[in-house]
Amino acid sequence: MPADSAHLHDASALQSDLHSLLDMQRKAYAAHPFPPLAQRQQWLKSLRQLLSREREVLIDAISQDFSHRSPDETLFAELMPSLHSLDYTLKHLKRWMKPSSRSVGMMFQPASAKVVYQPVGVVGIIVPWNYPLYLAMGPLIGALAAGNRVMLKLSEFTPATGRLLKDLLGRIFPEDMVAVVLGEADVGVAFSGLAFDHLLFTGSTHVGKLVMRAAAENLTPVTLELGGKSPAIVSADVPLKDAAQRIAWGKSLNAGQTCIAPDYVLVPQDRVEGFVEAYRQAIHSFYPTLIDNPDYSAIINERQLARLEQLQADATLKGARLIPLYDQGQGRRMPHALVLDVNDDMQVMQDEIFGPLLPIVPYTDLEHALAYVNARPRPLALYYFGYNKTEQQHVVHNTHSGGVSINETLLHVAIDDLPFGGVGHSGMGHYHGHEGFLTFSKAKGVLIKQRLNSSLMIYPPYGRQLVRLIQKLFIR
């Protein structure tokens, strides 16, 4: 068979396999379109037991994919929030599933109204490589809580984790309930073109546009979690040690490969050098050395490492001042570096960095800093460091971002009672907690009447006196 014909055959077979899987889940959903509370709770409990029992093999698989991922980072950033999300959902699911009573106006009495939260059907979830467990479990928990069937597409850049999750989830869920799809980019393209009842994608803004375009062919609703350049603003009077330490932690977790990592820092121009030194001390207190340090994670692959090195080279070529914080790295354990004297022509100020490079942008006053942020695409997260409550409120009210943390980084994503989602270029829609349940549910309005038909009073013919009286009473 010629190469082109073989490629077409493979593509056709791929489409057929994915459609067959979707059809199987649709039929299973049609047979059980409204799973009861006890069934959903059992799904979530089984998932919790699985994650708790298999934590060590999950840690090992993720580390294998990264060449080295700190076991403690996987525990804190992937397993812990997944388990907490399951506990939170199990605690509140009964209340979430309860129909919401709504009022009925006098004109329509006697009647009652309610909103029933119905599963949407089959949910597709496209999982990125940077947190392959948590960013699979988070939406999976919400989709199962809402009573749906789920298809998960795992990243081709985390093959060990993908194979393991396929095996582990297959032990507790039949494939018509939860299915894990593996494969390269062509599989992801085909997956995003399936006629899901809802599709959630986490990844880059560029790929998010392609996913949304593919979903539009089927009028599939989408939730997009896209990242972007999340700023941190250091106020004029916050202790530099406080701000630098918290920003350094948010930037160094997973070697900066976090969608809500601080992407650049706005610092008062007279505090820049002080911040540089405070940041250096914070990073060195976390990681005295990178050589054989089990706490420091590697860049996921050579392609991403080369991209980050290109960002450094481009910035230096265009006049930036690079301040390396270590003499050398090890393998793909890339050393942290600060980038000063940046401008908008540099790629490091255009692209989401997703690594241990931190540009510093000086500003004159708070309004200048806010104007800088607001002149750019709306980020997934915004961080403000300052203890003045009036200024905190001013920042929250005068910027747009998916979420905000005041005097902290990253942790708002782990608060189960807060929605998580982007805005504009950083995404659309929300999930986590109750918002996740709502995202994967159809809020169906239901009006209920019994034998008495009060609507007879407004049926034609319209010239009757009773009709005119009703018009006078209810149309003013």
Taking the C-alpha atoms of residue 355 and residue 174, their distance in angstroms, rounded to an integer, is: 38
Strand order of the β-sheet with 441-448 is 100-102, 112-119, 441-448
pLDDT value, residue 10? 63
pLDDT value, residue 6? 46
pLDDT value, residue 91? 98
pLDDT value, residue 11? 64
Helix (H) / strand (E) containing 88: helix 80-97
Q: What are the catalytic residues? A: 225, 259
Give pLDDT tens digits along the chain (476 positions).
454 444 444 667 778 899 999 999 999 999 999 999 999 999 999 999 999 999 999 999 999 999 999 999 999 999 999 999 999 999 999 999 999 999 998 888 999 999 999 999 999 999 999 999 999 999 999 999 999 999 999 999 999 999 999 999 999 999 999 999 999 999 999 999 999 999 999 999 999 999 999 999 999 999 999 988 999 999 999 999 999 999 999 999 999 999 999 999 999 999 999 999 999 999 999 999 999 999 999 999 999 999 999 999 999 999 999 999 998 888 999 999 999 999 999 999 999 999 999 999 999 999 999 999 999 999 999 999 999 999 999 999 999 999 999 999 999 999 999 999 999 999 999 999 999 999 999 999 999 999 998 887 878 888 788 878 878 878 87
Taken in order of first residue, the domains within the chain and their CATH numbers are: 3-226+429-443 (3.40.605.10), 231-416 (3.40.309.10)
Which tokens sit at 298? Answer: 């590697």
**Secondary structure class of 442 (helix, strand, coil):** strand
Contact by Cβ (8 Å): 284, 334? no
pLDDT value, residue 459? 81
Which tokens sit at 437? Answer: 């349940």
**Bridge partners of residue 201, in order along the sequence:** 126, 224
